[in-house]
Structure 1
Amino acid sequence: MIRTEEIYDAATDDGVFERLAATLADAVGARSGVLHWGFAPQHIAEISYSGYFSDAQMAVYDDEFHADDIWGAALDRSDTVNRLLNIEAIVPDRAYEGSRIYNEWIRAMGDDTFRCLGGIIQKDGTTGHIGLHRGRTQQPFDTREVQAMQDAMGHIGRMFAIRSKLDRANQHGRSLQAALDMVGHAVFTLTANGALIDGNGAADAMLRRGDALTLRQRQVKARDPRDDEAFQAALRAAAARQGTQASAIFIHREQGAPYVLSIASVRVGMDRQIVAIATDPTGRDASLTSRIRALYGLTRAEAEVAEAICAGRGLEELSAERGVALNTVRTQIKNIYVKLDCSRQSELVARVAALPRLGPFEDQSGFRSD
């Protein structure tokens, strides 16, 4: 008997989903089963199979025999969608016995899988496949077993749709997290009373250091009591109904210049949440030089000088650090002003400060890029 609870449990429980093919196979007396769904007919997002075939054997199927699956090809018709079919009724035994998949994959591993209940399930933009199998010497699937699986098809389709929506939501969340991790600031999302909801990678690192902000019983606190008093006051102001403007305070650390903590509130549904952004004034935007060059056509030396000037460095200091004559630095600054269409240092600083601050990020292969 197929229990619908087990099907719907698989919507949110990965372990139940992994076992679901075996659960369905057991329910109708099949010795193996496979279940998978994706966002298109040829796409597989997740797969569950009963374990009758090993991972290595399934990998061989994917690599070498998927295109020769005569049962799958028989189901790939519009009139079979959301129907559970006894494949023996649409693929003659002689055709299956002469197929490459039967002779070079099934028989080659000493197996006799010969009977199949199969179907294509489409629901809310997802396409799923189900296959339940028996050996040649076993009894064919009867009408009661076919009907039991047909009755379950709608539930399986809804389960696929739920998993696809959760998958999209998780992907959306991962994309947003990756974007926040690329921002060159520590970004905290807090409740109105300062309890931590979430934070990007820089925020996590800042809390681990504990040199300015700490986490106590899920509450974000400033290490310095005077800073914490100002922080709590800023949180209360931001959480107030009239608190629509952002505020900022200094958060002192044990060594070095204090962080600048910008605090504002946002509406999330019916709730008000606090966004706190901690900026390290001494931190360097590793991508700034390349972006200035790309935007304004500066040489590498000019872009480095422009970045240094915006950081408050003097001409004599730059001349000494770069090992060039003072007149060379002056010439580079003149070229920078021409290319950025500005005439004084304050304009240059404003142009560069308008660029978003980016931090180091990790690419998909796991290597850090600076």
Structure 2
Amino acid sequence: MTSAPSTTADLEAFINILYDASLDPERLPVFVRRLADAFGAEFGQFLVRGHEQHGFVINVMSGFDAAEPARFEQEYAFREEQAPWLGAASETFSSTAYYRERLRLQGIGDGLWLHCDDDDGRSALIGVFRRIGAGPFSDEDRDRLDALRPHLPHAMRLLVRVAEMEVQGDITRGLCEGMACASVVTNATAHVAYANAAAHRLIEAGDGVTMLNGVLIAAESRQTRDLHDNIRRIARAARDGDLAAVSQTAMALERPNGVKTVGCVIRPLAVRTGSLSGSKPLVHIHLASSDAVTVPASGLLRGLFGLTPAEAGLLQALMQDKRIEDYAEERGVAVTTVRTQLAHLFRKTDTNRQSELVRLSIMAAGVLAP
């Protein structure tokens, strides 16, 4: 068993582990396990609570039943909804009958805690716990754990910042992946920083664009120079703050079949500035082909326009440029029945022509992946 941090070297080692884990939350379980072992404890917990409405930012529980972390968070969220004061301060939280009862149910007899709070409503808790009958912690143990107290607020701020960045990244990726349109983000040299699922399908098929060593290139090599020139021009304008002159540009990328083209619109996405990273403008490339209309799911169309399943099916067919007569034959119904359904579609969408109906449907739902 590792001894509790008693020397300066031992303490510095644990402080370094704490900060390393704060920058890389995947290491937190190792820190919690080592800290518990150092104090002769079977259990450990590292808890960071965000703003009241955000619940737990971090909740690492070592030695507990495997289902306890999820159960703990669910019950906490329920109780906070019923009594918001429950988590108002970390001292209050760890001393509540609810928290003590959760520990007792896990067979815990004694515990040591460190708490800290900041002015933004965030709090952190580090705890080590022993089973019932394992004996209490000593005053010396308390002093040793307390040596980490000055570092806990800094670790909490790092963890919250890292967690916020991860959440923002998840939100951005989730929104982009849910879009039917193909989106690519590159730097000024056309190196791909991100491509959503729709873009990956085009790239993998070599449909207008592809990639070589991480660089976006045109599927027809003779167009690659123009593509890269346009990307550099937009990136340079963004870097120099000259967007009034060049805010976006567009070009048509040829496809291998030579029949239709893929539209390519290039615009600045963001300009990062700062003394550490300098200015690194990114560009957003939107790719679209005229024959790549994404037909929304029936349930989405029904929810948007209040359609019946039959009406939604007809609208899907119209978005695929099917003739009413062909659709009626395909469904095994009379053409007059389909025309009646079409009349209902016009009424429910407040449109008068098929082209207007299809355009409205694409605008309302076509941006979403099916």
TM-score of the alignment, normalized to the shorter chain, above 0.5? yes
TM-superposed deviation, 1:230:
4.0
Q: Cα–Cα, structure 1 residues 296 and 149, in superposed 2: closer, same or farther, change >3 Å? A: closer
- What SS does the aligned partner of 2:17 have? helix
Any conservation in 1 of the 2:296–2:365 contact (CA below 8 Å)?
Answer: no
CA–CA distance in 2 between the matches of 1:343 and 1:306? Answer: 14
Match for 2:362: what amino acid?
Answer: A
Any conservation in 2 of the 1:125–1:161 contact (CA below 8 Å)?
Answer: no
CA–CA distance in 1 between the matches of 2:43 and 2:254? Answer: 59
Match for 2:253: what amino acid?
Answer: F
Matched, 1:141 2:115: no
Map of 1:37 onto structure 2:
47
Give the counterpart of 1:11 among 4, 13, 22.
Answer: 22
- What SS does the aligned partner of 1:2 have? helix
- What SS does the aligned partner of 2:303 have? helix
Give the counterpart of 1:304 among 288, 296, 313.
Answer: 313
What number of residue pairs does the alignment pair up?
A: 325
Match for 1:234: what amino acid?
Answer: N
Matched, 1:129 2:125: yes
CA–CA distance in 2 between the matches of 1:335 and 1:140? Answer: 75
Q: Cα–Cα, structure 1 residues 79 and 311, in superposed 2: closer, same or farther, change >3 Å? A: closer
CA–CA distance in 2 between the matches of 1:62 and 1:342? Answer: 53
Any conservation in 1 of the 2:207–2:219 contact (CA below 8 Å)?
Answer: yes
Any conservation in 1 of the 2:295–2:366 contact (CA below 8 Å)?
Answer: no
TM-superposed deviation, 1:302:
3.3
CA–CA distance in 2 between the matches of 1:272 and 1:79? Answer: 42
Match for 1:264: what amino acid?
Answer: R
Any conservation in 2 of the 1:36–1:44 contact (CA below 8 Å)?
Answer: no
Give the counterpart of 1:216 among 207, 212, 226.
Answer: 212
TM-superposed deviation, 1:130:
2.6
- What SS does the aligned partner of 2:302 have? helix
Give the counterpart of 1:277 among 280, 286, 290.
Answer: 286
Partner deviation per Cα, 1:258-301 (whole Å, 9 max, x = no partner)? 43333222233344321112235444534254444334344333
Q: Cα–Cα, structure 1 residues 279 and 115, in superposed 2: closer, same or farther, change >3 Å? A: same
Matched, 1:201 2:197: yes
CA–CA distance in 1 between the matches of 2:58 and 2:246? Answer: 45
Q: Which has the larger radius of gyration?
A: 1
CA–CA distance in 2 between the matches of 1:213 and 1:309? Answer: 29
CA–CA distance in 2 between the matches of 1:267 and 1:279? Answer: 22
User: Runs of 5+ in structure 1 lacking a partner?
Assistant: 67-75, 88-95, 107-112, 361-369
Q: Cα–Cα, structure 1 residues 337 and 184, in superposed 2: closer, same or farther, change >3 Å? A: same
Q: Cα–Cα, structure 1 residues 129 and 227, in superposed 2: closer, same or farther, change >3 Å? A: same
Q: Cα–Cα, structure 1 residues 211 and 119, in superposed 2: closer, same or farther, change >3 Å? A: same
Map of 1:92 onto structure 2:
none
Matched, 1:252 2:255: yes
CA–CA distance in 2 between the matches of 1:286 and 1:210? Answer: 22
Give the counterpart of 2:269 among 249, 252, 266.
Answer: 266
Map of 2:326 onto structure 1:
317
Any conservation in 2 of the 1:118–1:132 contact (CA below 8 Å)?
Answer: yes
Q: Matches of residues 90-105 of structure 1 in structure 2 within 5 Å?
A: none
CA–CA distance in 2 between the matches of 1:341 and 1:15? Answer: 53
Map of 2:3 onto structure 1:
none
Q: Cα–Cα, structure 1 residues 238 and 225, in superposed 2: closer, same or farther, change >3 Å? A: same
Match for 2:350: what amino acid?
Answer: D
TM-superposed deviation, 1:7:
1.9
Any conservation in 1 of the 2:210–2:216 contact (CA below 8 Å)?
Answer: yes
Q: Cα–Cα, structure 1 residues 37 and 139, in superposed 2: closer, same or farther, change >3 Å? A: closer
Any conservation in 2 of the 1:230–1:249 contact (CA below 8 Å)?
Answer: no
Match for 2:49: what amino acid?
Answer: F
Give the counterpart of 1:186 among 182, 185, 192.
Answer: 182
> CA-atom RMSD, angstroms?
4.2
- What SS does the aligned partner of 1:287 have? coil
- 180-189 vs 10-19, which moves further: 10-19
- 346-355 vs 166-175, which moves further: 346-355
User: Runs of 5+ in structure 2 lacking a partner?
Assistant: 1-9, 77-85, 274-279
Match for 1:204: what amino acid?
Answer: H
TM-superposed deviation, 1:189:
0.7
TM-superposed deviation, 1:31:
4.6
TM-superposed deviation, 1:133:
5.2
CA–CA distance in 1 between the matches of 2:265 and 2:308? Answer: 34
Q: Cα–Cα, structure 1 residues 265 and 80, in superposed 2: closer, same or farther, change >3 Å? A: closer
Sequence identity of aligned pairs in percent? 20
